[in-house]
Chain A
Amino acid sequence: MLQTRPDLGAPTPYTFPKPRRLTVGGGTVVAIDVPGQAFASVRLVHHAGGATEPQESMGVAALTNEALEDGFHGNSSLAPALERHGAEWVSRVTWDSFVTGVDAPVNRLQDATALLAEAVRNPALRDEDVLRRRDQILERFWLDASVPSTLATRAVGGQLFTGRYATPLSGAPVALKQVTPQAVRDFHASSIAAVAGTLVVVGDLTGVDLEALGSAVFGDAAAADAPDRTPPEPAGGELPRVVVLDRPGSVQSALLMAHRAPARRDVDLPRADGISDVLGGMFTSRLNLELRERLGYTYGAGCRFDLRRDSGVFLISTQVDTQTTAHSLTASLAETERLRREGVSETELSAVRESNTVGLPVSYSTARSLAGALVETVVHDLPEDHIDRLRAGFEALTADDLAGAAREYLHPSEMVTVIAGDAASLEGPLSEAGAGPVTVRDPETLWS
């Protein structure tokens, strides 16, 4: 005899762990102790992302970030040194941040962090290493862009913005070629080496001397605020519209529908993320249920907000069979319009509320994810109890809030749809889809 469906009892209330905060020299250490977690995550955060780069050296942040892996001795010396400590270099550049770090066993944390400090404060940055990294990034650019979804993602910026955001984060082929080793050294000296930043440490901190870690990493670098930024201008062109990036013979199309969104600080996150969850943020969201589970057109469909300090983007993405591409586009638009028109059901509201509140222990069940949340608070100047405030915001959500969010944040009439696929098969059906005029582009010409 099988058991009947069990009642879900009340969840244990979750509070995000309160971080320890220390001022060390010009920098700040923010740390969470996770007893029993023997693998620690260390992240150093600087406010030196792609968005603040000068037009003449687009991609310098990403190139510098990668060149740090050549380490103090040059010639890719950092990773092998860390490997001997069982540690791993973890770094990335976003539009708003320059993050470096290591994941390491807590008993090797001091050694691994010392290597992090050396690499960040005093890298060799030799000409030959920077040029090698630059050439490799340039070649990888086209290699990565041969994946249709990556190609579509990289092309979207140029359809929505002018200025820095129109060019991909790593700078794209022509722009990156102009970034010299000296430009990398200058960027590093002014934005990274001379700026203390914030050090995030998460793991079992028993016996870990946080002050010593901070001193090692910050040295005598100074404190610095996030730079002021000017919101980017929109790109021209009729809205909505469709751009096909021709990949002759493709058996599938990568479809990306995007429009501009407000800056992060101007967005009410529970409402925006909530409506995004309903439309495409979950497996049970409307787009996935329609395109995958009802029509069988795709392996998956989704949507999300990409919110930056001075602007934002809303994106719907999927990959579909070539002959169902036009219908996938109109079906996605129809779902978005319906959400704006009718709002959400009580079931959808409860799914949004519950998944973003009772699910927090799952979201923060690793050192990496806890460190990621702390990095987010540093990058966007959020309060220490940011996660708890978000949770409270989701708990208070109403169906009316989400209906209002659909109208405020979702704008199908302003969509630019970028499709990487077989133009010969797509152009006709797409021009009848009602998503605006269709232009076909050769991907090779996008960043020339």
Chain B
Amino acid sequence: MTTNGAARRVDQFTLDNGLRLVTAPASTPQVAAVNLWYGIGSRFEVPGRTGFAHLFEHLMFQGSGNVAKGEHFDAVERLGGDINASTSTDRTNYFETVPEHALDLVLWLEADRLATLRDGMTQEVLDNQRDVVKNERRQRYDNQPYGTALERILRLAYPEGHPYHHSTIGSMADLDDADLDYVLDFHKRHYGPDNAVLTVVSNLDPEDVRERVERSFGAIPARPEAAEAPDAALTGLIGGPVAERAVETVPAPGVFLGYRVAPYGERDFDVMHLASAVLGQGQGSRLYRRLVLERGLAVDDGGAAADLLPFRYTPSLMLVNMIAREGVSGDELEGAMLQEIAALAEGVSDEELERARAVLERDHMQSLSHPSGLADAIGSSTQLFGDPELAYTWPQRWNSVTAEDVVDLAKRLLVPENRLSVRFDPEPAGEPAA
């Protein structure tokens, strides 16, 4: 066990089977937030098998050796708990917040599906959840204005065959092709205690939590061998400008711009994070002040036009997105956005940088103020960087970034050669989609 001294925030343990456990105190009593970060995301998928990590996340709720279909959800819901999961390129995350007395039960439910999921898996379950996921895809992507933007962005940002070339939801065809053998093998390859970080945020004694976790997870063997992810190494700029245009039934032109930046965790990522906040986070940001307020070119998004899509194992993306006001063409809006982006290379004031720091720090502190958010931040810091303390100290990374740093990096990265553009334009009146 390692403890970080008098101002104790986290305690860390590693079980013999490789499971990393982190405990931290909650700011409200009588709750336990449990968060499991598995190091399996869509970056492990290969062409023809896309969408599988996410489909698998659904299957994890469909019963295991000692838990019937639906029972996991039922057990947590009848405790009034929160329960959900999510999948990204870099991980799959399962989380529950429950009343403190239910901690053992939740640990057992999580341990059971880690150890015995394959015993509960059937073709019927697979077929049902495949249909559910296809409807999720329709709801979030295909039947949603601008819903396919992210897919198009990833296709432009990363080359064919690269593990970040596709979205986590995958394609309908690949979902149709998923078979039971692959499901069982997937669990064997990726779901081992050695590939997980378990975070428990509660007011229980850390040693007490460790003993409970040992009882639930201690006997689950590590994977015989760790799965290898496809090579995600990538250097250089996008090789742009590259562009994709879609004419669809959207209400107004939508412009999505992207730039390859540093992997999540590197200093240049932090610099670009601040650049994105100067540019497009908050109503004090440049894009909001200039394009929403002064020029009236873009729809009011409250100041949420730019952000970074963080990828740990390959270059991340800075994304800038705005929707055109009535009478404003996509070309005009895109031109104005490019102008503002280019202007970052001409100078950033200290005051702008201070505001950007305050906005990022506020968002970070807000997420830590929730037991579940704190557990998630710790899980992320531990799984991706091996350092749970980063959850608390992350804002310090922004302190040493100067306006010159932002300008220098903008000069190198926010250039046409590193730019992708995805544009949605409404169909001309009287010409509906085929």
Contacts and interface: CB of A to CB of B under 8 A. Distances in A.
Contacts, number: 220
A238 to B, nearest CB: 29
Given A87-B362, A319-B135, A362-B80, A76 B293 contact: yes
B101 interface: yes
B282 A296 contact: no
A84 interface: yes
A289 B115 CA distance: 26
A298 B135 contact: yes
Contacts of B83: 283
B143 A148 contact: yes
A147 B144 contact: yes
Contact of B135 (A79, A142, A320): A320
Given A80-B282, A87-B362, A251 B99 contact: no
A354 interface: yes
Nearest to B296: A132
A250 B300 contact: no
B284 A319 contact: no
Contacts of A319: 135, 138-139, 143
A5 B80 contact: no
Interface stretch (B12-20, B126-134, B173-181, B334-342): B126-134
B276 interface: no
Given A252-B143, A294-B128, A361-B100, A139 B135 contact: no
A139 B362 contact: no
A236 interface: no
B70 A136 contact: no
B365 A105 contact: yes
A396 interface: no
A146 B143 CA distance: 10
Given A8-B101, A146-B251, A365 B358 contact: no
Nearest to B147: A147
Nearest to B368: A39
A75 B293 contact: yes
A12 B111 contact: no
Interface in B102-147: 102, 104-105, 108, 111-112, 115-116, 127-136, 138-140, 142-145
Contacts of A75: 293
A39 B28 contact: no
B299 A139 contact: yes
Contact size range, A? 35 or more
Nearest to A75: B293
A147 B144 CA distance: 6
Interface stretch (B71-79, B229-237, B312-320): B71-79
B86 interface: no
B299 A358 contact: no
Nearest to B323: A143
A377 interface: no
A389 interface: no
Interface stretch (A30-38, A57-65, A192-200, A430-438): A30-38
Contacts of B143: 148, 250-252, 319
A398 interface: no
Given A2-B112, A362-B82, A38 B69 contact: no
Given A83-B282, A147-B145, A284 B80 contact: no
A234 B111 CA distance: 53
A56 to B, nearest CB: 25
B293 A12 contact: no
A6 B105 CA distance: 6
A86 B358 CA distance: 5
Given A88-B362, A361-B29, A38 B355 contact: no
Contacts of B81: 359, 362
A248 B366 CA distance: 42
A76 B283 CA distance: 7
A299 B368 CA distance: 29
Contacts of A299: 132-133, 135-136, 139-140
Contacts of B284: 79-80, 83
A362 B31 contact: yes
B325 A139 contact: yes
A79 B112 contact: no
Nearest to B372: A365
Contacts of A34: 27-28
B3 interface: no
A360 B135 contact: no
Interface in B252-271: 252
A8 B326 CA distance: 58
B243 interface: no
Interface in A355-397: 355-367
A441 interface: no
A146 B146 CA distance: 10
A118 B70 CA distance: 51
Contacts of B132: 292-293, 296, 298-299
B30 A284 contact: no
B288 interface: yes
Interface string A275-308: 0000000111000010011101111000000000
A11 B99 contact: yes
A83 B362 CA distance: 8
Nearest to B324: A139
A83 B77 contact: no
B5 interface: no
A385 B97 CA distance: 24
Given A8-B105, A299-B139, 9 more contacts: A80-B283, A86-B362, A86-B365, A143-B323, A248-B432, A293-B70, A293-B128, A354-B79, A365-B370
